[in-house]
């Protein structure tokens, strides 16, 4: 089971990555999506009311152009819902579920700040076209929209730049140094989110010569050593997909905490497949990765020819196996270390921030006439973790099974590929929590790094998204 967020977030991630292009980068579509959802919550505090999110100004003698105002609100609400991929009430509900029940391995924080002297009580800064509404609608005081926000969302006076930078450091454990926007006298309110994770692999990678990436890989000539998946604990597959054709898939799970974890999925296609199609495929496959399922379209190694292919090499050997038909399939993945630090402009209309700004400005009765929106994110993937470090070992012994045959596919991530980090959340009663199956970070890996000899670093670089008007 995955949260209802997965489909809308996949669509949003595709639009966000499309604005970034094929350069090496990391991003958190979830971090940006959450800000849209918070705008939806604040602007739609009473979703059960008729024309939810649009104040009933019809017949109000204080508003000469009430029908025009109502029409504009409906247009903004529709644009915001289109960007979110769901209705405003559902988006707000998902945001509250995630932020008010934090994932053990994904730190999250959100904040809504306003300029001192421009109170959010509807008495200061309200344009003539933004009247107070009837009691209970939430626009005549803070009770309505404040109650609609997650309980964990910080609300208060807009900090200065030093305060914003300190907030970013605090909520990313020092991994993001500065807030992505510079505060100025023109800023009347700001909305921000921060996400951070630091995990150790349940089983660390082994090390191998970079030539294992294959003779056709430019990275094999530039690097000395790369990572090889351990014999147990990681998952691999070859799958046929609609948008990217045949792909290779590797899933590295984190050590779990209270039944919750993180799975980092790497997906590579043929070099001529557009990055957007590979990233979209990785997001599609991430839904099953949270449950440990084999990817849709998985190909049996016994249906593929032995020898070399552009993305893999398949060999066969006699082994002792417990496979029912005496035919065992094994997958080993070879991939490089990598890290990325990126900044992204989120002002494209397709990302929803123009509509979010308009909706939030009306809800808060603030005279916002423009907006800025940016995200800064960073990540590191190495032998010991996804911005994490630990070494874990296990010995197991079994009695000798009968003889059979095993085919092993070596999956070679030797050219640019997609990465998606997906949260898992399993409860003791067997159910899953709101974070289960939610993609938290994603990246396009185009600049590999040499394997470091440094001792394991317990930190992982997170992402932070923010937006202001």
Question: How high is the mean pLDDT in each 10-residue block of the chain (469 residues)?
Answer: 76 96 94 92 62 41 51 84 94 94 90 70 37 33 72 90 91 86 83 89 92 92 94 91 96 85 95 96 92 87 88 79 68 93 91 89 75 89 63 22 63 94 85 90 94 61 42
CA distance 113 to 115: 7
Q: φ and ψ at 9, to 5 degrees?
A: -70, -35
Residues facing 267 on adjacent strands: 249, 418
By C-alpha distance, which of 469, 459, 461 is closest to 443? 461
CA distance 192 to 167: 10
User: Residue 98: what pLDDT?
Assistant: 94
Check: CB of residue 38 under 8 Å from CB of residue 359. no
By C-alpha distance, which of 68, 45, 30, 218 is closest to 137? 45
pTM for this one? 0.85
User: Residue 9: what pLDDT?
Assistant: 95
CA distance 334 to 67: 62
Q: Which two tokens stand for residue 18?
A: 């499309």
User: Residue 291: what pLDDT?
Assistant: 86
User: Residue 74: what pLDDT?
Assistant: 83
What is residue 349's DSSP assignment? Answer: G
Residue 16: exposure state from Cβ atoms within 10 A (0-12, 13-18, ≥19)? buried
SS3 label, residue 405: strand
User: Residue 462: what pLDDT?
Assistant: 35
Using CA atoms in the order 36, 41, 42, 47, what is the torsion angle rounded to 10 degrees? 140
């Amino acid at each position: 089971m995955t949260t209802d967020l997965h489909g809308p977030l996949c669509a949003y991630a595709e639009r966000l990555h499309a604005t970034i292009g094929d350069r090496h980068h990391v991003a958190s579509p979830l971090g940006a999506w959450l800000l849209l959802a918070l705008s939806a919550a604040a602007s739609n505090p009473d979703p059960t009311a008729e024309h939810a999110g649009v104040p009933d100004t019809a017949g109000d003698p204080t508003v000469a152009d009430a029908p025009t105002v109502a029409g504009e609100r409906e247009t903004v609400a529709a644009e915001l819902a289109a960007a979110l991929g769901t209705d405003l009430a559902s988006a707000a509900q998902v945001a509250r579920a995630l932020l008010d029940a934090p994932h053990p391995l994904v730190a999250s924080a959100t904040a809504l700040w306003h300029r001192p002297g421009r109170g959010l009580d509807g008495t200061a800064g309200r344009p003539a076209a933004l009247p107070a509404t009837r009691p209970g609608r939430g626009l005549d005081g803070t009770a309505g929209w404040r109650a609609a926000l997650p309980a964990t969302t910080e609300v208060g006076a807009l900090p200065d730049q030093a305060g914003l930078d300190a907030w970013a450091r605090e909520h990313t454990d020092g991994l993001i140094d500065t807030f992505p926007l510079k505060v100025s006298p023109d800023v009347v309110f700001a909305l921000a989110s921060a996400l951070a994770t630091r995990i150790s692999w349940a089983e660390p990678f082994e090390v191998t010569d970079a030539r294992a990436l294959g003779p056709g890989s430019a990275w094999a000539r530039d690097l000395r050593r790369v990572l090889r998946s351990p014999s147990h604990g990681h998952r691999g597959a070859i799958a046929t997909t609609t948008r990217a054709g045949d792909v290779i898939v590797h899933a590295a799970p984190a050590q779990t905490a209270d039944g919750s974890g993180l799975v980092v999925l790497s997906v590579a296609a043929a070099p001529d497949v557009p990055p957007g199609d590979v990233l979209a495929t990785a997001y599609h496959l991430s839904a099953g990765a949270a449950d440990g399922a084999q990817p849709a379209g998985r190909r049996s190694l016994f249906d593929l020819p032995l020898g070399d292919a552009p993305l893999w090499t398949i060999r066969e050997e006699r082994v002792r196996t417990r496979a029912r038909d005496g035919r065992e399939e094994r997958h080993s993945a070879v991939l490089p270390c990598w890290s990325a630090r990126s900044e992204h402009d989120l002002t494209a209309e397709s990302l929803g921030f123009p509509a979010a700004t308009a909706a939030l400005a009306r809800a808060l009765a603030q005279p916002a006439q423009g907006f800025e929106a940016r995200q800064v994110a960073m990540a590191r993937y190495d032998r010991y973790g996804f911005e994490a470090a630990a070494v874990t070992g296990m010995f197991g012994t079994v009695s000798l099974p009968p003889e059979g045959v095993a085919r092993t596919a070596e999956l070679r991530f030797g050219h640019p590929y997609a990465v998606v980090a997906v949260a898992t959340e399993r409860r003791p009663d067997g159910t899953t929590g709101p974070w289960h199956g939610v993609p938290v970070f994603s990246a396009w890996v185009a600049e590999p790094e040499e394997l470091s000899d440094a001792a394991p670093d317990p930190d992982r670089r997170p992402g932070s998204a923010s937006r202001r008007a």
